[in-house]
Amino acid sequence: MLTHYRGSSSPSITRLRRSILGLKRYSAVHSIDSHTHELTTQEHEVEAFLKMVTQKFYKLSLVESHELLSGSWISKLLDVFLCCQEQFRVLLSNNRSCLSKQPMAKLVSDYFERSVKGLDICNVVRDGIEQMRQWEKQLEIVLNVLGDQTILGDSQFQRAKRALNNLEIKIFDEKESRSIFSHKSRSFDPKDLKNQESNGTKMSRSLSASVSRSWSASKQLLAIGNNIVVPKSNDVLATNGLVLTIYTMTHVLYFVMWVLVASSTSQDRGLQLQFNNYHKNFTWWVPMSSLQERILEEYKKRGRRHSCGILKEVHRIETYVCFMKRFIDSVQFPLRKEQEEEAKKMFEELKNIYDTLKNALDPSERQVKDIFQQIIRCRIEGLDYVARQHD
């Protein structure tokens, strides 16, 4: 399978090559000579992009079950999106003269509209990260209270229990607030984006603090994923394959935003969404659909369906809070030797959870911010290319 991913061209690219060669046979000689270099360059750019997407998602799909949906794996996924988005931006820049022509003009505009929905999700995820920072503070309190293993007593355990209660309340509040999360979410109005672009203003963290009461992450995902149509062979030929890159990048956007929504804490997760639009002739479909199936299986596991998020660290925190509170309620002082050993094990587990969470939050927040900025940058540049061609 690795050889298939790395060594083979996409069937769509193979058909593209055959179509272009067939077109050349029936074209005038001078026309062939004048366009051969351009066609070849575009063909290689498209093939390189599709191959890069396939390879990167294949590497992501090699993750072991215990690492899937962990903070470190999510970070790798975000890196993949950033890389794909940047290469997509460069590819559009290299072929800007084609963007004002149909069907490219419509498809590029459609992708930008979908990507605006992704900005909302980025803001929701960043809000979720802020909530997890509050969880981190409560974990730190428990860690500090139980840090002195030499004098563990009732007062220390009660202080630790109060911090765990506060953490449990915060987690419960997050679960309860998912249905009304739209009250504190930010939403992106395309008109505001247009004004920002025309005025040349800097990219901001968010554009509006008011949203509809009907806002939900599931609806945003539906807006991104609905009506993704496989490019027609005529459109592939007319654009020298460029439409394939838009189709592919749309699915990359959809998949990454779906994973972010599934793993984050502060929204309705909408895991019922399916990726029925994937076209099996694209080699990136195999690792991407495999990951989707594994994530859905993870979600269906007992105890995860009603979790605050299916990020591994979130599940570990929820499990730890319940286990630690039961332990504290069951101990009697002075502690027996086996209880001391159990307390030490839980302390080490808590420290591991705390360190993992602390190390994951800052990089993830930076990456989500970078995704936010890259989406806006690509949109601004793309619309500028189209406007200049019309002028």
Q: Cis omega before residue 103 (within 30°)?
A: yes
The whole-model pTM stands at 0.79
CA–CA separation, 181 vs 123, rounded Å? 12
Query: DSSP character for 335?
Result: P
Count of domains in the chain? 1
Q: Is residue 315 a contact partner of residue 69, using CB atoms and an 8 Å limit?
A: no
For 266-310, what is each residue's pLDDT tens digit? 555 555 555 655 567 789 999 999 999 998 888 777 555 555 556
> The tokens 């800052």 sit on which residue?
362
> The tokens 């080490």 sit on which residue?
348
Q: How high is the pLDDT of residue 308?
A: 58
CA torsion, points 202, 264, 257, 85, in degrees to nearest 10? Answer: 50
For 315-333, what is each residue's pLDDT tens digit? 788 888 888 888 888 888 8
Task: Tell me how long the chain is.
Answer: 391
Instruction: Name, in order, each residue with C-beta under 8 angstroms of 50's C-beta and a sequence gap of 6 or more.
Output: 10, 12, 13, 244, 245, 248, 282, 283, 284
- Residues (pLDDT < 70) of the chain are 1-40, 148-150, 172-215, 265-279, 302-310, 388-391
Instruction: Name, in order, each residue with C-beta under 8 angstroms of 384's C-beta and a sequence gap of 6 or more.
Output: 197
Q: Give the number of other Cβ atoms within 10 Å of residue 7's Cβ.
A: 8
CA–CA separation, 247 vs 111, rounded Å? 9
Say which amino acid occupies 75.
S
Instruction: Name, in order, each residue with C-beta under 8 angstroms of 73's C-beta and a sequence gap of 6 or more.
Output: 60, 63, 67
Handedness of CA 165, 171, 177, 181 (dihedral sign): positive
Structural domain containing residue 192: 2-390
Q: Is residue 236 a contact partner of residue 12, using CB atoms and an 8 Å limit?
A: yes
Chain-centroid distance of CA 375 in Å reads 13
Chain-centroid distance of CA 331 in Å reads 43
